[in-house]
Amino acid sequence: MGPFEEQTGCKVNVKTFGTSDEAVKLMQGGGWDVVSASGDASLRLIYGGNVQPINMDLVPNYADIFPDLKMKSHNSVNGVAYGVPHGRGANLLVWNKEKVGDTVDSWSVMFEPDSPAAGGVGPYDSPIYIADAAVYLMATQPDLGITDPYALDQTQFDAAINLLKQQKGLVSEYWNDYLKQIDAVNAGTMTAATSWQVIVNGFDPATIGSTKAKEGATGWSDTWMVAKDTPNLNCAYKWLDWIASPEINQQATAWFGEAPSNVKACDIDPEQCATYHANEPSYWENVYYWNTPTEVCLDGRTDVKCVPYSEWSKAWSELRS
Amino acid sequence: MSTATTATPPKGGFGYRHPRARLAALLAAPMAWLVVVYLGSLAALFLTAFWTVDGFTGALVRTFTFDNFVEVFTTPAYLQTMLRTLGIAIGVTILCLVIGVPVAFFMARVARARWQPLLVALILTPLWASYLVKVYAWRAMLSPEQGVIAWFLAPFGLDSPGFGEFSIILTLTYLWLPYMILPVYAGFTRLPSSMLDASADLGAKGWRTFRSVIVPIIFPTMVAGSIFTFSLSLGDYITAQIVGGKVIMLGNVVQQNYVTNLPFAAAFATIPVVIVLLYLAAVRRTGALEKL
List, as one string, the DSSP characters of B4-48: --PPPPPPS-HHHH-HHHHHHHHHHHHHHIIIIIIIHHHHHHHHH
B164 domain-assigned: yes
ipTM of the complex: 0.78
Same fold, A2-88+221-282 and A90-218+294-320: yes
Alpha helix ranges (H) inside B106-160 = 116-124, 131-142, 148-153
Q: Give me chain A's average pLDDT, please.
A: 90
A2-88+221-282 fold: D-Maltodextrin-Binding Protein; domain 2 (3.40.190)
Same domain, B184 and B85: yes
Note the pLDDT of residue B34: 85
Beta bridge partners of A211: A93
CATH for B162: 1.10.3720.10
Taking an 8 Å cut-off on Cβ atoms, the answer to whether B80 and A321 are in contact is yes
- Minimal Cα–Cα distance from B66 to chain A, Å? 17
Residue in B with minimal Cα distance to A127: B256
- Minimal Cα–Cα distance from B223 to chain A, Å? 30
N residues, chain A: 321
Same domain, B44 and B130: no
Structure confidence at residue A309 as a pLDDT band (50, 70, 90): confident
Q: What does pTM read for this prediction?
A: 0.82
Paired sense of beta strands A80-81 and A84-90, if any: unpaired
Which of the 8 DSSP states describes residue A65? B
The angle formed by the CA atoms of residues B268, B272 and B274, to the nearest 5 degrees, is 105
Domain ranges of chain A: 2-88+221-282, 90-218+294-320
B110 domain-assigned: yes
- At A288, is the secondary structure helix, strand, or coil? strand
Burial (CB < 10 A; 0-12, 13-18, 19+), residue B99, is: middle
CA distances from B68 to A48, A246, B77 (A): 22, 49, 15
Indicate if the pLDDT at residue B3 is higher than 90: no
Taking an 8 Å cut-off on Cβ atoms, the answer to whether B57 and A171 are in contact is no
- At A153, is the secondary structure helix, strand, or coil? strand
Alpha helix ranges (H) inside chain A = 2-8, 20-29, 39-47, 97-100, 108-111, 130-140, 154-168, 178-187, 197-200, 233-243, 246-256, 265-268, 270-275, 309-320
B291 domain-assigned: no
Query: Is the CATH code 3.40.190.10 the one for domain A90-218+294-320?
Result: yes
The pLDDT tens digits of the residues spanning A160-170 come to 999 999 999 99
Note the pLDDT of residue A156: 96
On whether the CB atoms of residues A57 and A48 are closer than 8 A, the answer is: no
Q: What span, in angstroms and rounded, lies between the C-alpha atoms of B107 and B276?
A: 30
DSSP A87-129: EEEE-EEEEEHHHH-S---STHHHH-TT-TTTT-EE-BSSGGG
- Minimal Cα–Cα distance from B77 to chain A, Å? 5
* Residue A49, CB-side half-sphere exposure with 13 Å CA sphere: 4
Same domain, B33 and B83: no
Same domain, B257 and B144: yes
The pLDDT tens digits of the residues spanning B128-147 come to 999 999 999 999 999 888 88
In total, how many domains does chain B have? Answer: 2
Same domain, B83 and B137: yes
Indicate if the pLDDT at residue B70 is higher than 90: yes
The pLDDT tens digits of the residues spanning B179-232 come to 999 999 999 998 888 888 898 898 888 888 888 888 888 898 999 999 999 999
Same domain, B79 and B41: no
The pLDDT tens digits of the residues spanning A46-83 come to 888 889 999 988 889 999 998 888 888 888 888 899 99
* Residue A119, CB-side half-sphere exposure with 13 Å CA sphere: 8
Q: Give me chain B's average pLDDT, please.
A: 88
On whether the CB atoms of residues A40 and A68 are closer than 8 A, the answer is: no
Taking an 8 Å cut-off on Cβ atoms, the answer to whether A318 and B77 are in contact is yes
Residue of A86, A46, A35 lying closest to A226 (CA atoms)? A35
Same domain, B43 and B79: no
Taking an 8 Å cut-off on Cβ atoms, the answer to whether A172 and B245 are in contact is yes
On whether the CB atoms of residues B54 and B250 are closer than 8 A, the answer is: no
Residue numbers in A near B58 (CB within 8 A): 24, 44, 47-48, 309-310
Which of the 8 DSSP states describes residue A293? -
Indicate if the pLDDT at residue A145 is higher than 80: yes
Beta bridge partners of A52: A226
Taking an 8 Å cut-off on Cβ atoms, the answer to whether A321 and B145 are in contact is no
Q: What span, in angstroms and rounded, lies between the C-alpha atoms of A83 and A72?
A: 10
Which of the 8 DSSP states describes residue A177? S
Domain that holds residue B36: 15-48
* Residue B175, CB-side half-sphere exposure with 13 Å CA sphere: 25
Taking an 8 Å cut-off on Cβ atoms, the answer to whether B259 and A310 are in contact is no
Same domain, B110 and B228: yes
Indicate if the pLDDT at residue B103 is higher than 70: yes
The pLDDT tens digits of the residues spanning A199-248 come to 898 899 999 999 999 999 999 889 999 999 889 898 999 999 999 999 99
Structure confidence at residue B11 as a pLDDT band (50, 70, 90): low
Q: How many C-beta neighbours within 10 Å does residue B110 have? A: 9
Same domain, B160 and B232: yes
Same domain, B80 and B129: yes
N residues, chain B: 292
